Every structure is written in structure tokens, then in C-alpha cells.
Homo-oligomer: A and B are copies of this chain.
Amino acid sequence: MIEANAQWRLAARPVGLPKPSDWEYVEEPAPDPEDGQFRVRIEYISLDPAMRGWMNEARSYVPPVGIGEVMRAGAIGQVIDSRHPDYDVGQCVTGMFGVQRYAISDGRAVRRVDTSLAPAPVHLGALGMTGLTAYFGLLELGRPQPGQTVAVSGAAGAVGSVVGQIARIKGCRTVGIAGGPEKCAWIVDGLGFDAAIDYKGGELRSELRRHTPDGIDVYFDNVGGETLDEVLRRIAFGARVVICGAISQYNEQQPRGPVNYMQLLVQRASMAGFLVFDYAERYPEAIAQLAEWLAAGELHSREDVVRGGLEQFPEVFLGLFRGENTGKLILQLAD
């Protein structure tokens, strides 16, 4: 016997920045799990810029969320009811459970969470898709070599903060681009970046020049827009530009492309995109490595956990696009 489920369902395709009315809050009786299913009580919901893309009706790497469907989101929760042979009541699990209080799952794309390694929210941060995205994107596509310069945008965000730390661990000069003096101070003093550039300071071009005297060998991009263009002016010979996201453009009705992309030719450089899902077979290896760095104190995971009701989802989610979060933004559901 559980209380009624509550969900945020997609109500409309947003134009520009989503409005709260682009979702609909629905409470209704929760169905019971069938044979081969289990029920999760969701405790933490992962709020990610990519979710904005899933709201569009465009060709992408996953189908769009349909109008009337529960808003897609990663989450962590506890199995509270199971008719699945591999999942027992009390287990902590993570998967794409959606923006709701209770999820029914058949176990596909679900992983068990080992809370003895770290508290649950960390499994949405450095030990979750966030950390895995940073790990595979930087190491597999960026291929940073010791002594090279790695720049990352969204550097105080969920993925960016892990990218910079892995680059530091790998012996690179690490330059983070973030918004505002507090974030910049944190990535240098708290995370050990070599330099931080406040893109809101109006000196992006000259600051990039100052902090990357030998150019940029690897650029891990989370933001797109002007920042990507300015970094392209600084790429070094043979640079690798890793496209992870473009948060500055997700709500633009006239998005811009990288005007300076011909620097790829000038510098014999490449720009490549990736999706973490392609590395699913190697998640265990990566999580083990990330956990080892965490335990050794070389890697810090910061979660920006907003404790509140599910009702707050639209408001908290939109904070992502205002750059309000530092580290991984998570909505914790009050019980």
C-alpha cells in the first residue's frame, strides 16, 4: 500500500526557455508492479541540461519525451516492492526513473548502487552518469597527455568539475571556464585547477590567451556558443575538441554554430561528439577508478542537493540554465 504517485508529465514542446506550464503535475493512484517488475521509491532526481533536448521533437540520440509522458530523468531510489527475481526490497538502484515519486521498472538499464562506496547523491555525481561522462569523454576522445593543456567549460558544473579533476590527475595543465568569481575560486582552490576564467567577466578572449600560453590541446565543451568560438581561436596543433553539450544554445530559437570551426583546418584539429551510453560495458572499470580517486581524496564530488517537494521540479530544473548550481544539481524528494 503506497500513497498516490505524483508525476511531472510533458505538456507542451517548449519554445525557448521552458515555462512551468510546459509540464503538468499529476497525482493519481500508482499501479502495482507486475511479474518481472519492481517498484522504486525515488529519493533523488538528477537534473541535467540534456533533459532540455529530450523535450524537443528533433532527431536525436534518444526519442523525444512524448507529450503526456512522464518527464525523463535519471534518479536513485529504493526498491520497495518487487516481483523481479534480481531485485529485492531495500536495494538502492539507479536508472531513468523519471520525474515522479514512484517508478515501475523491469530492470532494463538499471544499476545497483553501492552506498558503502559513497552516499547516494554521489552516485548521480562523480560515481554516476556525470562522472562516467567526464571519464570517457575526456580520456577516450580528448586523449590528454601529461603536460598538455586541457580546457573545460561549465567547469563548476557536474561534468566539467570532474573533467578538470581527471585532467589534473593525468598531469595536465587544467583551465576551467565558469560563471562568476565564486565558481572560479572553487575550481582552483577546491578542485586544484591551474586556472579559472570567469566568462561573465567580459575578458574571455584575453583571459584565454593569458592562461593558455601554449594553446589548448584538449577542449571539453559543455556550453557551445561564444565560449566555443573563443576557445577555437586558441586551439593548438592537433587539438581535440570534445563535444559533450551546448547549454548556452539549448533554449535559443536561433542557435549559433561555431563560426571559427575553420581553425580545425588551420590547426589540423578535430571535433568529435560522444555519448556515455556507448561505453556501458566499461562502466564498472570507470566507476572503480573514480571511486579509487574519490577515496584517495584526489577527486571531489560536489552535489548541489535541493531538498524539497516534487512540486518544485520546474523551478529547480530551470536554475540549471541560469547557472545557479555548483556541482551536480539534484532534487531530493522529501518523504
Q: Which residues of A contact B (CB under 8 A)?
A: 59-61, 224, 229, 233, 243-246, 249, 255-275, 278
Evaluate whether A271 and B266 lie within 8 angstroms (CB atoms) in the complex, with A59-B233, A233-B59 already known: no
Q: Does B259 lie within 8 Å of A265, measured CB to CB?
A: no
Name the residue of chain B whose CB is nearest to the CB of A229. Answer: B257
Q: Does A274 lie within 8 Å of B265, measured CB to CB?
A: yes
> In the complex this chain forms, how many copies of it are found?
2
Q: Does B61 lie within 8 Å of A266, measured CB to CB?
A: yes
- Cβ distance A242 to chain B, nearest Cβ, rounded Å: 10
Q: Does A272 lie within 8 Å of B269, measured CB to CB?
A: yes
Q: Does B262 lie within 8 Å of A246, measured CB to CB?
A: yes
Q: What is the CA–CA distance of A269 and B270 in the complex, to the nearest angstrom?
A: 10
Q: Does B268 lie within 8 Å of A278, measured CB to CB?
A: yes
Q: What is the CA–CA distance of A224 and B257 in the complex, to the nearest angstrom?
A: 12
The 29 sampled A-B contact pairs (Cβ below 8 Å) are A59-B263, A60-B266, A243-B261, A243-B264, A243-B265, A244-B265, A246-B262, A249-B262, A256-B259, A257-B257, A257-B258, A257-B260, A258-B258, A261-B261, A261-B271, A262-B273, A264-B272, A265-B273, A266-B273, A267-B273, A268-B272, A268-B273, A268-B274, A268-B275, A268-B278, A269-B272, A270-B270, A270-B271, A271-B271
Residues of chain B within 8 A (CB-CB) of A257 are: 229, 256-261
